[in-house]
A and B are shown apart, each in its own frame.
Chain A
């Protein structure tokens, strides 16, 4: 080492010596918890927007089907689940594209802005036209006054049961799914910030379209994308068209469809309305310990009143004798579990209380598949 290098080492060490860290480890962990919660709640917020739209869509779907002289297919209320409900595996067929007439759906994106990012388009039209080869030619056009239209095309073959992803620019993805989707949600690991979405049926085509707009643009917006959509019978399907193991549950006056998708790598609550729906987490990040401690909150005005807190997780197949001890300071609470068609046991606990009683579950006990007793929490 020469003199200059030695001098530099000495000077760097001297300059840095008085510098200490202002980071508080415990506060940082708390901040980490908040970010993790806000991430899952952000996904929830996006889904809520879809669901609100879907509520209006129900009328459109019924009208369109009625014009076709077919019996309208309406969603039916889900049966009230019981605690520790066991859900029989479904044998329903995957939705399939069967129709082959032209149709289009128009999306108004003027309210799709997020933070400082306006939507890239004011309007987006998804049109499907049958071709002589039996495929559907998809044309997607995004428009905004003062800007040139952007266009993308795709081909969707008849009989297809899986989803098709089409990017339009850097911030919009159109996902085409077979059948009548009541609502849908796009999943991506890309760093896209927030997202807003809407789902519509493309009349006469046997297709539904999910339009998702990202807050931040990415070079390949469809890269690694996955989708889960809900058909009018309430069942969920993932990218390949396979049914996602799920169950409709209600607890403490709230209802949601709990699901776990290996294909998408996500588990969560797929709610139609209320305060539980639209929350998810990556399977790789989920663990039984997620049940314990502070829950995911949905509160009213500030200061928070009338909060609903929830915790959920999935326990492996073979889990039995599950018992949860809930926060005694939150009397308006409950928990339930459901064994999904693939054997995973989904657990959901909820309470309605103030900010101070956000802890939902104090402890959990169960027996795992090997027969070992497991205790979590205090």
Chain B
């Protein structure tokens, strides 16, 4: 009931936003592949975090917001119209022009993966979360994390090979 006064709480939250929003936005971008959507997702996740700020333990704010963010992203993808996914498990030729900035190539490759595999790869290899932390954040088993990671890496390996053969890297 009697926590820190609102101005102090707001200042702490604002500081948290300043120090964490860039990292969160990068995660969001890798998850959704769209800069504008990434900004929206982070804004929404941070707003939800603000509303729960009194319940967020110090030191766990980033993890809390990342969890909200990933769930928001899941929701966003679920709200999209159904998209044929037959090709997502198969290596697909990159339809982008060869002159596209190769920084974006991994984002396009990730977009071709099933959502779960994409989330696991981003959390494991960009956010450096352990398998256990990834499992907890996504609400799945460690075995499921290992499976998604293995399958995702396997799919990417083929993409990388095709890209190399096509001279896109």
Contact = CB atoms under 8 A, between A and B. Distances in A.
Contacts, number: 112
B39 A23 contact: yes
A29 B14 contact: yes
A18 B103 contact: yes
A287 interface: yes
A284 B126 contact: no
A21 B42 CA distance: 9
Interface string B103-116: 11111000000000
Nearest to A9: B125
A29 B13 contact: yes
Contacts of B39: 21-23
B5 A376 contact: yes
Interface string A287-322: 111101100000000000000000000001000000
A151 interface: no
A356 interface: no
Given A21-B21, A23-B25, A287-B1, A29 B126 contact: no
A111 interface: no
Interface in A1-35: 4-5, 7-9, 11-23, 25-26, 28-29, 31-32, 35
A11 B106 contact: yes
Contacts of A4: 153, 156-157, 160
Interface string A329-367: 000000000000000000000000000000000000000
A15 B104 contact: yes
Nearest to B39: A22
A283 interface: yes
B22 interface: yes
Given A25-B14, A284-B1, A19 B7 contact: no
A25 B18 contact: yes
B29 A19 contact: yes
A102 interface: no
Contacts of A316: 2
B76 interface: no
A15 B42 contact: no
17 contacts: A4-B153, A9-B126, A13-B126, A15-B105, A15-B106, A18-B103, A22-B25, A23-B39, A28-B14, A28-B46, A29-B10, A29-B50, A284-B1, A286-B1, A289-B6, A292-B5, A376-B5
Interface of A: 4-5, 7-9, 11-23, 25-26, 28-29, 31-32, 35-36, 283-290, 292-293, 316, 376
The 4 closest A-B pairs by CB, nearest first: A289-B5, A16-B26, A32-B50, A21-B21
